[in-house]
Chains A and B, each alone.
Chain A
Amino acid sequence: MNDVIGLAPWLIGIPLIGAAILLLGGKATDRWGHWLGVAASAASGVIGFILMFRMIGTPAEERSVDHHLWTWLSAGGLDVDLGLRLDPLSLVFVMLVTFVGTLIHVYSVAYMDHDPHRRRFFAYLNLFVAAMLTLVLADSYLLLFVGWEGVGLASYLLIGFWDTGRPSARENAVAAKKAFVMNRIGDMGLIAAMALLFAGTGALDFATTLSDDTLGSLSEGTATAIGLCLLLAACGKSAQFPLQAWLGDAMAGPTPVSALIHAATMVTAGVYLMVRSGPILEAAPTAQLVVVIVGAVTLLFGAVVGTAKDDIKKALAASTMSQIGYMMLAAGLGPAGYAFAIFHLLTHGFFKAGLFLGAGSVMHAMGDQTDMRRFGGLSRFLPITWITMGLGWLAILGIPPFSGFWSKDGIIEAAFIPVEGQPWRAWVFGTVAVLGAGITAFYMTRLFFMTFGGRRPRWTENQHPHEGSPLMWWPLVFLGVGSAALGLVLGVGGTFVTWLEPVVGHAEHHEPVLPVPVIITSTLVVVVLGALLAFRMYAMSLVPEEAPRGSFLTRAARRDLYQDAANETLVLKPAHGVARLLQVGDRDVVDRGWSLLPQVLSWFGAVFRKAQSGYVRSYAAGMAGGVLVIAVVAWLVVGLGGAQ
């Protein structure tokens, strides 16, 4: 391991350099810039693969390596080194990010072919890869935060990639800003968590803060506070309730971005943070419970929203939110859930990226149309997309043996594991997880058949859908194969769980409240029911081209369960009111208050100025009067006529 550890910095360095070359190189790099971007990402992937390969060859207990680069920040008792931590967890992420990232890079070469700013796009993608790798490879919370905000920046840049040129482009910019700002709200949590950690433990690196000794010295209250702060951060990054509102809008970015950042990698960073901070959460059961609740709420929230969306990307975004809810729920369940959270994250990374790229392929074919009510019957024209998306569809549904089954089922089982003293938990969260699986089946089936199924295409005029270039469909094939097989490869026999054990710890085996086969069977039944319902509604019958008004729930779901309205009324309007009040206050109270002082002075001046009439005789009278006054005073003091 140690002989190749020197390569680790290049994981981040190569894409970073790539981004720098593309950004600073300007138009000179236009011709070959995109290939440079692909190469940088691929090079990172190769290094990741080498490291992975070497790590598999090392004994389990030596798999966690901290690679020190240089002293970053050393002041007043805080010593943070710039260092990388390579362990099974971070390497899983490295593989996911570089592999899926490279595929999406390749896909983008074709997808962005006609965009004059393709070079800039690849620069941002490379920047993203570098930032994401920094996030997962960091050996301290502070460096993690660098990557954390770095991916936020990349996300901001990419969501707003088409933010200029035409009037409606402003909306993309607004969406980008919304994403960044809501992420920042979460980042407040990370900053606060770091402050609490430093106050409690005197350090910010994982090695110290997450060690048993350090955590033993933390009070449960502090641990809970830290855990909740970290959860806030995770909610922002991973679009969890109540900071979920930005994800749907983030679909304004190019579709490869949605696939890479807003499905496969960045949005799952919150789950990574939770799993990485597992020891802290375990020291704070209350925080854990809140994590689970947030996960469960988001799971249902996203699923419900997903059922009503007609925009294919927004439906997938809602689905992403919901699936991350699963991961978050698992991350809150302790060691039993960690491995499955990450496993689901990995499989989700593949199948959701596949689904998004498939959606991109469909959009590409349909002239950037995203309304599913305008699709239909595409299976004949886009066979490769149809098959690969079908694999993704089966995977997300959790149909065995596709990958989603292995990971999601693990989470559902873990949710059913009873917690001492809180018997209701297993039932509530288990039921929610199963219910969520059913709704997931419904909306994904709806999406799939609205797009590909149906007897009659509902296209707008002059549509000639066709598959894109091989650069576009080869990544689809890879991801499709991954969606199908990854679970089988890693899930059978618990390979993946064992792999992560050095990091997340060994989970004692607990029996769920229901027997495992019962859980699996009932889940499958619910899933099939949901899928059949959707099949009946959207494949068997005609889909109207205009959305029907729908029930109250449908309308609410279409409007994201009024999340924006709620934010508007609960946060933005009051905040704006306060800001207006302050603005008026600053002008009319503070500023005017200060100008009161000179006003009073000038008022005095105006009063005394009147004495300066300019009339010589007035002045003379003043002088004479003064003489008189002095004389009288002298008279009174000295006595008249001298003392003799």
Chain B
Amino acid sequence: MDITNYVVLAAVLFAIGATTVLLRRNAIVVFMGVELMLNATNLAFVTFARMHGDLTGQVLAFFVMVVAAAEVVVGLAIIVTIFRTRRSASVDDVNLLRG
């Protein structure tokens, strides 16, 4: 098997994550899509690390995880706050930006 398959898998997962962000209305699921995309990139990083024999890829993946964790904390807090005031977790209900 070629190691490239991992990268292809990462690409497919990333595309699925992106599509989730675009198509799902529940903010939490949208968030999950984001997480999926991050994970997909992590997989690519790990694969590249292995490919090049260089640990930097893994380090990057590690940082991505940490940042993702922070992002999840803040993001979910925002969702909870919005839900508290608007009683809805739909991203479509938050449309104050309408021109």
Contacts and interface: CB of A to CB of B under 8 A. Distances in A.
A295 to B, nearest CB: 77
A617 B21 contact: yes
Interface residues of A, number: 14
Contact of A614 (B22, B23, B95): B95
Contacts of B22: 617, 620-621, 624
Contacts of B30: 617
A614 B98 contact: yes
A268 B85 CA distance: 92
A619 B95 CA distance: 11
A509 interface: no
Interface in A607-634: 608-617, 619-621, 624
Contacts of B91: 615-617
A613 B97 CA distance: 7
Given A621-B22, A624-B18, A615 B92 contact: yes
Contacts of A620: 21-22
B18 A617 contact: no
Nearest to B98: A614
Contacts of B98: 612-614
Given A617-B25, A620-B21, A621-B22, A612 B99 contact: yes
Interface residues of B, number: 14
Interface of B: 18, 21-23, 25, 30, 91-92, 94-99
A612 B99 CA distance: 5
A581 B66 CA distance: 76
Interface string A207-221: 000000000000000
A614 B92 CA distance: 8
10 contacts: A611-B99, A612-B98, A615-B91, A615-B92, A616-B91, A617-B23, A617-B30, A617-B91, A620-B22, A624-B21
A629 to B, nearest CB: 15
Most B C-beta atoms less than 10 A away, residue of A610, A611, A614:
A614
A551 to B, nearest CB: 81
Contacts of A619: 97
A613 B91 CA distance: 12
A185 to B, nearest CB: 59
> What 7 A-B pairs are tightest by C-beta distance, nearest first?
A614-B95, A614-B98, A612-B99, A609-B99, A614-B97, A616-B91, A621-B22
B21 A612 contact: no
B96 A614 contact: yes
Nearest to B24: A617
Given A608-B99, A614-B98, A621-B22, 11 more contacts: A611-B99, A612-B97, A614-B96, A615-B95, A616-B91, A616-B92, A617-B21, A617-B23, A617-B91, A620-B21, A624-B18
A130 B23 CA distance: 94
A537 B95 CA distance: 99
